[in-house]
Amino acid sequence: MTEFLSLHEPLFRLTISATVLAVMVLWELAAPRRILRMSRWQRWPTNMALSALGTLLVRLALPLVAVATAIEAERQGLGLFNWAGAPTVLAIPLSMIMLDALVYAQHVIFHRLGLLWRLHRVHHADPDFDVTTGIRFHPVEILISMCIKILAVALLGAPVVAVILFEVLLNAAAMFNHSNVRLPVAVDRILRWLVVTPDMHRVHHSIHQDEHDMNFGFSLSIWDHLFGTYRAEPRDGHEAMQIGLAAFPAPVPAGLGWSLINPLSNAAGGRERRI
């Protein structure tokens, strides 16, 4: 299985990503949670172009991505799980859980530090909230995130399968929890004890600072519950709440050029940040 996934990792990831994207788009059309403020065609080209540019930048700038790092660490016997001789059946789930915790911590840091917030605010500037918001990140943020992930994978000695599965699940979770879909209240209430649901993560995209500085989890919701960053509902309700950043009102954030150069702007994006 490891050899198969390693050889076909790009195709495997692309297939799963495209499938999840298609399913969520159809779900959004069939059972939308909110009425979107802007046309999809005003936002989707920018969101998808940012994702594509980020992927291209990572491939060009880094000789090793996370999966290749895991392969090399396994070959060289590097990292915690390789040094400890941990059985694969234990190393895989522990690696995935620890990498998810890292994503949570990284997300918090990107909100707290001024230079990193300048990059991350491009994600929050989306004036609407749907499946493509989950892939809308500045290319430089994507590059930095991959560098952090590579270091973590090397230090952990995470198994190749764990890294591939984590990458796939993280991407799928991001599209799911950013989707404009309606879940039954009872189902949402149960799910969010374990995973991040769209209603839970939508709070994080509120225009109010005290709300978008909460609910940082991407896959597992346990980190927000554990570290006191969980908020159940937006004060204005899901249908009426405003999405985005006050400093960057629609329709400007929908443009690709604006999104790429926005980190160079001195605008605070709705709040002051530490450097």
Residue 269 lies in a domain: no
Neighbouring C-beta atoms of residue 231, cutoff 10 Å: 17
Residue 162 lies in a domain: yes
Q: Which residues contact 13 (CB under 8 A, 6 or more apart)?
A: 164, 167, 168, 171
Residue 239 lies in a domain: yes
Instruction: Indicate whether 274 pLDDT > 60.
Output: no
Residue 62 lies in a domain: yes
Residue 270 lies in a domain: no
Q: Is the peptide bond before 198 cis (omega within 30 degrees of 0)?
A: no
Scan for tokens 């400093």, then name that residue: 247
Instruction: Indicate whether 9 pLDDT > 80.
Output: no
Instruction: Indicate whether 2 pLDDT > 90.
Output: no
Residue 275 lies in a domain: no
Specify whether the CB–CB gap between 159 and 2 falls below 8 A.
Answer: yes
Give the separation between CA 133 and CA 88, rounded to whole angstroms.
Answer: 35
pLDDT score recorded for residue 3? 60
Q: Specify whether the backbone of 157 is left (phi greater than 0), alpha (psi in -120 to 50) or beta.
A: left
Q: What is the pLDDT of residues 111-158, one digit of tens each?
A: 999 999 999 999 999 999 999 999 999 999 999 999 999 999 999 999
Residue 15 lies in a domain: yes
Residue 274 lies in a domain: no
To which H or E segment does residue 116 belong?
helix 114-124
Structural domain boundaries, residue 222? 2-32+40-264
Burial 119-140 (b: 16+ CB within 10 A, else e): bbbbbbbbbbbbbbbbbbbbbb
Q: What is the pTM of this model?
A: 0.92
Count of domains observed in the chain: 1
